[in-house]
């Protein structure tokens, strides 16, 4: 059952909403802005979540922007150890940011209330259940948490200072839960703007290609648990009242019982089962206007592709996880969208191109608009792999059969094109079809599409959560190789991930590597593409021969992207065998690329 549960809580919702706003006004220090701090709002089970409300001093009814997250609605980015690096990046990129606002209310991955209230919006920031000042069990993205969000939205829509129209805004966590709650269709929800948020909790969060993503343990331990309600030892500082804002202290065993570790839960659910289905939005019920902002290196075009909304737009950008959200250009975009759908302003938004992509080059980017995604006129081109000479090229359907083996926990194989003779663009979803075998009953495939400059150096790009990433990354646990053709396209195959099919050692199998995101690159003359296939996380070592796409400065090196698989389920015995890639003859292996023709 997907996120459609209306009946179980609708009666309780009416009871929960029959309450006034119990404001606790605090001097905001910002002319024209009223600040209601730690306002309790009852949920359908009687638990009270705490929200901060920032609203114009001038009386009236205003549209509401809302977000709900686990990071601390009162935790300043500038002072929190967990956000020190993010804050430094933000200040380095926008040194004048705090001249346009006091930045006193700027929170991690959240809009700055000061810059919205001044334009006639109310901003509401809630601590999720079990985090900050909100008591209860901390269980990220759970059905209970989504139901709480729906209750808050309708509560806000019914307040005397509200116009009755609520929009959702935020990045990452604050984008993921927008999709979830939109599927519940709460009263008052009028538009959503998920900025770089995952849509599919199994394929985009818990498991990449069927391989457990343990990167979330760092997120959980360093960014979420410190702000757990009742955590008296939190290092996070309450920027409003001083001290901490995590409620009544709880004993260590009570804290443990009051939280659900997501990575532990993921490990207990290795397949796309009911656990994920009840956390996956029913896209057919997402009907509100939608602006999906995605990133080439993680999260996510899926919301745009699957939502039933008639009024929906997609932007795919490059860059890091946080700073683009706070740019002046981003703020202007966000305001145009919400001015149109929350205020009803005739500002020409409806004429905005449905798709806009930031096309990457080795020396910069350029924006391009389109009417649809994938881009109209895309030509899907196969680059056939040749294990005999580690090459790949188009038009080689009749290659002679060849095989090449590699150690499952080693550096793998790399297939490289000849230098491109003319400038060539590839923008869109990509795919890799391989014929593979192993000496063991399973193998993991980690694929990296790389750009190589004329000097033989890897050109890397700033990624969502990594300063140096290749063009794209793909994954597949071969025992999860089954494909649901009814849910697939020629360029994106859908793996149901509902069962494990062991390999027979020595036998070859056709597999389609799973890429969570598309790619974009304009390849100059003389540059080459390379496809690396290996059995461990791809990354650039400390002595890697790399240059950065923007400034050609060597960044720090480690695994690439938002994913890594260092986990006990990666048995060295099972996943450290001798793996083989077969090419040519009856075993055509290829890279599928979205070529964009330019007249």
Question: 503-549: per-residue pLDDT in tens?
Answer: 999 999 999 999 989 999 999 999 999 999 999 989 887 788 888 77
Q: What angle do CA 278, 302, 173 make, to 5 degrees?
A: 65
Q: Is the pLDDT of residue 474 over 80?
A: yes
Examine the domain organization and report whether 336 and 423 are in the same domain: no
pLDDT in the model for residue 190: 98
Examine the domain organization and report whether 257 and 340 are in the same domain: yes
Burial class (CB in 10 A: 0-12, 13-18, 19+), 449: buried
Task: Grade residue 7 by pLDDT with cuts at 50, 70 and 90.
Answer: low
Q: Is residue 16 part of a domain?
A: yes
- Domain containing 12 equals 7-197+211-269+322-352
Q: Is residue 360 part of a domain?
A: no
Q: Is residue 293 part of a domain?
A: no
Q: Is residue 295 part of a domain?
A: no
Task: Grade residue 27 by pLDDT with cuts at 50, 70 and 90.
Answer: confident
The number of beta carbons lying within 10 Å of the beta carbon of residue 363 is 12
Given 336, 352, 368, the domain boundary residue is 352
Task: Grade residue 465 by pLDDT with cuts at 50, 70 and 90.
Answer: confident
CATH of the domain at 43: 3.40.50.1820
Structural contact between residues 208 and 299, judged by C-beta atoms closer than 8 angstroms? no
pLDDT in the model for residue 553: 38
Examine the domain organization and report whether 264 and 384 are in the same domain: no
Q: Is residue 505 part of a domain?
A: yes
Examine the domain organization and report whether 341 and 389 are in the same domain: no
Examine the domain organization and report whether 185 and 260 are in the same domain: yes
Lowest-confidence range among 78-82, 362-366, 455-459?
Answer: 78-82
Examine the domain organization and report whether 251 and 131 are in the same domain: yes
Q: Is residue 305 part of a domain?
A: no
Q: Is residue 289 part of a domain?
A: no
Question: 113-160: per-residue pLDDT in tens?
Answer: 999 999 999 999 999 999 999 999 999 999 999 999 999 999 999 999
Task: Grade residue 562 by pLDDT with cuts at 50, 70 and 90.
Answer: low
Examine the domain organization and report whether 332 and 449 are in the same domain: no
Beta bridge partners of 170: 194
pLDDT in the model for residue 494: 96
pLDDT in the model for residue 444: 96
The pTM score is 0.93
Question: 188-211: per-residue pLDDT in tens?
Answer: 999 999 999 999 999 999 999 999
CA atoms within 13 A on the CB side of 216: 20
Q: What angle do CA 534, 445, 559 make, to 5 degrees?
A: 60
Looking at residues 266-270, what average pLDDT do you find?
Answer: 96
Q: How far apart are CA 328 and CA 333, in angstroms?
A: 9
The number of beta carbons lying within 10 Å of the beta carbon of residue 218 is 11
Examine the domain organization and report whether 15 and 63 are in the same domain: yes
Looking at residues 163-170, what average pLDDT do you find?
Answer: 98
Examine the domain organization and report whether 264 and 383 are in the same domain: no
- Per the structure block, which two tokens stand in for 88? 């430094």
Question: 208-242: per-residue pLDDT in tens?
Answer: 999 999 889 989 999 999 999 999 999 888 888 88
Q: Is the pLDDT of residue 62 over 90?
A: yes
Q: Is the pLDDT of residue 12 over 60?
A: no
Examine the domain organization and report whether 402 and 523 are in the same domain: yes
- The residue written with tokens 């001083």 in the block is 242
Q: How far apart are CA 273 and CA 5, in angstroms?
A: 17
- Per the structure block, which two tokens stand in for 18? 């029959």
Q: Is residue 75 part of a domain?
A: yes
Task: Grade residue 90 by pLDDT with cuts at 50, 70 and 90.
Answer: very high
Examine the domain organization and report whether 340 and 452 are in the same domain: no
Q: How many residues does the chain have?
A: 599
Task: Grade residue 554 by pLDDT with cuts at 50, 70 and 90.
Answer: very low
Q: How far apart are CA 30 and CA 49, in angstroms?
A: 25
Examine the domain organization and report whether 423 and 337 are in the same domain: no
Mean pLDDT of the residues in the chain = 92
Question: 64-82: per-residue pLDDT in tens?
Answer: 999 999 999 999 888 888 7
Task: Grade residue 556 by pLDDT with cuts at 50, 70 and 90.
Answer: very low
Structural contact between residues 28 and 112, judged by C-beta atoms closer than 8 angstroms? no
Task: Please spell the DSSP secondary structure of 407-460, one letter per residue.
Answer: ETTS--EEEEPPPPSS-EEEEE--EEEEEEEESSS--EEEEEEEEE-TTSPEEE
Q: How many domains does the chain have?
A: 2
């Amino acid at each position: 059952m997907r996120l459609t549960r209306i009946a179980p809580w609708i009666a309780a919702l009416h009871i929960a909403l029959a309450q006034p706003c119990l404001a606790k006004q605090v001097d905001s220090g910002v002319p024209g802005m009223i600040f209601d701090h730690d306002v309790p709002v009852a949920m359908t089970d009687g638990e009270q979540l705490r929200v901060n409300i920032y609203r114009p001093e001038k009386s009236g009814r205003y549209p509401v922007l809302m977000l709900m997250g686990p990071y601390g609605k009162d935790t300043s980015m500038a002072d929190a150890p967990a956000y020190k690096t993010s804050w430094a990046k933000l200040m380095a990129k926008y040194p004048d940011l705090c001249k346009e606002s006091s930045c006193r209310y700027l929170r991690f991955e959240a809009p700055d209330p000061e810059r919205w209230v001044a334009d006639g919006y109310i901003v509401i920031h809630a601590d999720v259940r079990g985090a900050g000042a909100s008591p209860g069990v901390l269980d990220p993205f759970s059905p209970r948490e989504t139901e709480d969000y729906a209750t808050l939205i309708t509560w806000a829509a019914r307040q005397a200072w509200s116009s009755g129209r609520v929009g959702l805004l935020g990045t990452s966590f604050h984008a993921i839960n927008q999709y979830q709650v939109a599927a519940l269709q709460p009263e008052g929800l009028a538009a959503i703007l998920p900025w770089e948020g995952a849509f599919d909790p199994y394929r985009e969060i818990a498991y990449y290609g069927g391989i457990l993503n343990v990167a979330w343990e760092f997120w959980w331990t360093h960014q979420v648990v410190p702000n757990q309600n009742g955590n008296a030892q939190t290092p996070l500082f309450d920027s409003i009242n001083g001290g901490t804002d995590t409620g009544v202290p709880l004993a260590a065993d009570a804290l443990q019982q009051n939280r659900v570790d997501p990575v532990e839960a993921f490990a207990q659910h290795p397949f796309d089962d009911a656990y994920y289905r009840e956390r996956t939005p029913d896209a057919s019920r997402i009907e509100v206007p939608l602006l999906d902002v995605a990133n080439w290196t993680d999260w996510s075009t899926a919301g745009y592709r699957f939502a039933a909304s008639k009024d929906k737009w997609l932007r795919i950008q490059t860059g890091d996880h946080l700073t683009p959200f706070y740019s002046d250009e981003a703020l202007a975009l966000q305001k145009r969208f919400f001015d149109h759908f929350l205020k009803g302003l005739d500002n020409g938004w409806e004429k905005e191109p449905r798709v806009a992509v930031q096309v990457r080059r080795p020396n910069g980017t350029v924006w391009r608009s389109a009417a649809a995604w994938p881009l109209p006129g895309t030509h899907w081109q196969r680059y056939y792999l040749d294990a005999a000479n580690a090459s790949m090229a188009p038009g080689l359907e009749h290659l002679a059969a060849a095989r090449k083996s590699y150690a499952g926990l080693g550096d793998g194989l790399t297939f490289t094109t000849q230098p491109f003779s003319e400038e060539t663009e590839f923008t869109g979803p990509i795919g890799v079809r391989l014929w593979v075998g192993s000496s063991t009953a399973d193998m993991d495939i980690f694929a990296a599409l790389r750009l190589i400059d004329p000097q033989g150096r890897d050109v890397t790009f700033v990624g969502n959560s990594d300063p140096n990433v290749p063009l794209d990354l793909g994954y597949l646990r071969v025992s999860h190789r089954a494909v649901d053709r009814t849910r697939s396209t020629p360029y994106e195959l859908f793996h149901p991930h509902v069962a494990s099919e062991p390999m027979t050692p020595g036998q070859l199998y056709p597999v389609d590597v799973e890429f969570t995101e598309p790619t974009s690159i304009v390849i100059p003359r003389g540059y080459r593409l390379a496809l690396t296939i290996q059995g461990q996380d791809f990354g650039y070592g400390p002595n890697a021969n790399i240059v950065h796409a923007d400034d050609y400065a060597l960044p720090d090196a480690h695994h690439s992207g938002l994913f890594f698989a260092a986990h006990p389920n990666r048995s060295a015995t099972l996943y450290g065998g001798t793996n083989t890639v077969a090419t040519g003859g009856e075993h055509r292996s290829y890279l599928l690329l979205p070529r964009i023709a330019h007249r």
